[in-house]
Structure 1
Amino acid sequence: MSDGNINDQLRLLVERAERLIEERKGLNEDIKDVMLEAKSLGYDVPTIKWAIKERAIERAKRQETSALRETYAVQLGLDF
């Protein structure tokens, strides 16, 4: 591959990454707007963020984690 092709390839990769970063900024702003809307409607934003993370986890793994947390809570004398 010639230096010109390598330079073009590198430039294209950098430009593509820059576009994706800009898209991500826009998406982050959109998510922030959704959370502000949820808050204005009286919802608890940290709990919504927790629910989003939990929904991304497979059910079996979520159940396993929940069982471990309950076991640890009992051992530490935490009441729920």
Structure 2
Amino acid sequence: MSAADPDEVARDQLTAFVERIERLEEEKKGVSDDIAEVYAEAKGNGFDVKVLRKVIAVRKQDVSERAEQEAILDLYLSALGMQTD
């Protein structure tokens, strides 16, 4: 029984990594296409896609992060004389 050639083992590992990444990239593209379809459907039903994307981004944030960003936005708007409160 002979030991495996280290170059062959490394080549096989590299090939496996590349193939896994390629499969995941294809899955990611499929999911991205699905998301785009949902946004298009929402737009077709009269929803503002830019605002919908913002809602999705806000929902990803935790409460303290969102509060901090809102406070900074208020500060910047106030500094520019654009405060809406």
TM-score, with length taken from structure 1: 0.94
Equivalent in 65, 72, 78 of residue 76 of structure 2: 72
The whole-number CA distance in structure 2 between the counterparts of 1:55 and 1:6 is 43
Within 5 Å, which residues of 2 pair with 1:1-80? 2-80=6-84
Q: Percent identity?
A: 39
Matched position secondary structure for 2:64: helix
CA contact (8 A) 2:58 2:66 kept: yes
Which one is further off, 30-39 or 65-74? 65-74
* Number of matched pairs: 80
Determine if contact 2:74/2:83 at 8 Å carries over to the other structure: no
Q: Which amino acid aligns with 2:81?
A: G
Please, which runs of 5 or more residues in structure 1 have no aligned partner? Answer: none
CA shift at 1:72, angstroms? 1.2
Gaps of at least 5 residues in structure 2 are none
> How far apart are the structure 1 equivalents of 2:79 and 2:22?
49
TM-score (norm 2): 0.89
Displaced runs of 4 or more, over 4 A: none
